[in-house]
Structure 1
Amino acid sequence: MRIISGKYAKRNLYTLKSNRTRPTSDKVKESLFNSLGQFFNGGNVLDLYAGSGALGIEAVSRGYDRASLVDINHAACAIIKKNVVLTKEEQRFAIYNMRSSAALKLFSEKQEKFDLIFLDPPYAKEKIAKDMIRMNKLGLLNEQAIIVAETDDHTELGKIMGFSMIKDHHLGKKTIVRIYRKD
C-alpha cells in the first residue's frame, strides 16, 4: 500500500498484519479520491477508524491542512505513527488511541470542526449512521462537510437525517463507498 498522489506520492505505507483491520486498497483509494476531486485547498480531515492512517495521509498529501487519525487498536496507532513519520510533516497529524465515541466527545470539547470525514468501522451499518448523526449534533462538521462511508456490498445505510447522499460507488467486487454532504 502506498500514497498515490500529492506531495507524499509514492511513499510506501506500513500496514497492520492482522485480520482486525481492512486496509483500503490502492485501487479503491484512487477511485475514491478521483470522485472527491484530485486535489484540495485546505481544511481538516477526520479518519475515525484509521487503521493504517492511509486515507487521512492521502488527503493531506493532496492538499488538506491536517488530519486527526483515530483508532482504538494500540498496534494500529503504532503503524499510523510510523506512516506519519514518512511524511516528514508530523505536525500536520494528530493520532488518538481511543474509542470513536470518546474521540468525538473530545473533539467537541476542543471545538474542532472537520471538512472531510472517513468512516470505515468494523460494524458499518450500526456505527456509520450513529456516528454521522452524533457528529452533526456535537457541531463537529463544517458547512458542506463531506463524509465518506466505506462498507461491504451487503450493508444498506438508507437515508441519514441531516445528510444527502451525493455519490454511491461500487468499487471492486465487495466494496461500496457512499459519499454524503451535510445538509
Structure 2
Amino acid sequence: MNKRPQKNKQTAAKGNIRIIAGRHRGRKLPVILAEGLRPTTDRVKETVFNWLMPYIQQSVCLDCFAGSGSLGFEALSRGAEQVTLLELNKAAANQLRQNQQLLKAENMQIVHTDSLGYLRELAAARKKGDEALFDLVFLDPPFNKQFAEQAAALLNAGCLADNAIIYVETEQNSSQQLPANWQLLKEKTAGQVSYRLYRYCPE
C-alpha cells in the first residue's frame, strides 16, 4: 500500500493577511507563520490607516521589519508611490516577493536584510546626499529587543524627509526612548500592544 505523501512543513505553516481598502481591497495574501512574525491585526490596521489617510497618497514609504508585509501592502493599495519592505527572515522575504508578484506591484521593493544594518548604511549614504528620503515609515519590530529605539535613532540620523510620518508599534509599557524631535500625533493601546503616530520635526 502506498503511503500518503507528507505535507511540506513550510506549506502547512501558512496563514493570510487581508488588504482592507484601496486598489487591492479584500485581497488575501498568504504569509508564513514563522517565529517572531506578528502581523498587525485588522482592527489595529484599520485605526492606523484612518490616522494615515491625509499622508499616504504619493508617499515614499519604508516598512522596517516588514514580516507579513501587512502594513506595506496596505500602503501600496491605498496609493503610496513607492514602498520598500525590509525583512531578515529569508522565508518571509521570499513570501513577500511572491505576494508582490501576485499584485503585480512594480513600485514595491523587497529587501532581504537586517533592518538596523540597512538603516545604518542609508544614514551614512544620506550624509553624502546619495539616497532618497522616506516620508512615511512603519516601525513594527519584534517585541522586547529594543529594536524600535535603535531603528528610530538611525532613522533620525538622515533617513527621513521633513515632516515625515512614522508609525511605531511596541509592547505596552515599553521603556524604549524615541527621539525628542518626534512629535506625537496619535496614541492607542490594544491588548498588550501600544501603537503611536509621530511627525518628524528636523532639529
The aligned counterpart of 2:197 is 179
CA–CA separation in structure 1 for the residues paired with 2:175 and 2:120:
27
CA–CA separation in structure 2 for the residues paired with 1:87 and 1:39:
22
Matched, 1:163 2:182: yes
Q: 1:6 to 1:56 in 2, by over 3 A?
A: same
CA contact (8 A) 1:147 1:179 kept: yes
Matched, 1:143 2:159: no
Matched, 1:16 2:32: yes
Matched, 1:101 2:119: no
CA–CA separation in structure 1 for the residues paired with 2:175 and 2:117:
26
The aligned counterpart of 1:52 is 68
Number of equivalenced pairs: 180
Bigger Rg, structure 1 or 2 = 2
CA contact (8 A) 2:65 2:140 kept: yes
Runs of 4+ in 1 over 2 A off after TM superposition: 38-41, 105-110, 156-162
CA–CA separation in structure 1 for the residues paired with 2:28 and 2:168:
24
Q: Partner amino acid for 2:164?
A: A
The aligned counterpart of 1:127 is 147
CA displacement at 1:161 relative to structure 2: 2.3
CA contact (8 A) 1:53 1:83 kept: no
Q: Partner amino acid for 1:177?
A: Y
Matched, 1:85 2:105: no
Aligned-residue sequence identity (percent) comes to 33
TM-score (norm 1): 0.90
Higher helix share goes to which structure? 1
CA contact (8 A) 1:48 1:69 kept: yes
Q: 1:39 to 1:9 in 2, by over 3 A?
A: farther
Q: Say which SS state the counterpart of residue 4 (structure 1) adopts.
A: coil
CA–CA separation in structure 2 for the residues paired with 1:11 and 1:159:
34
Greater Cα shift, 150-159 or 41-50: 150-159
Matched, 1:42 2:58: yes
Matched, 1:116 2:124: no
CA–CA separation in structure 1 for the residues paired with 2:68 and 2:88:
12
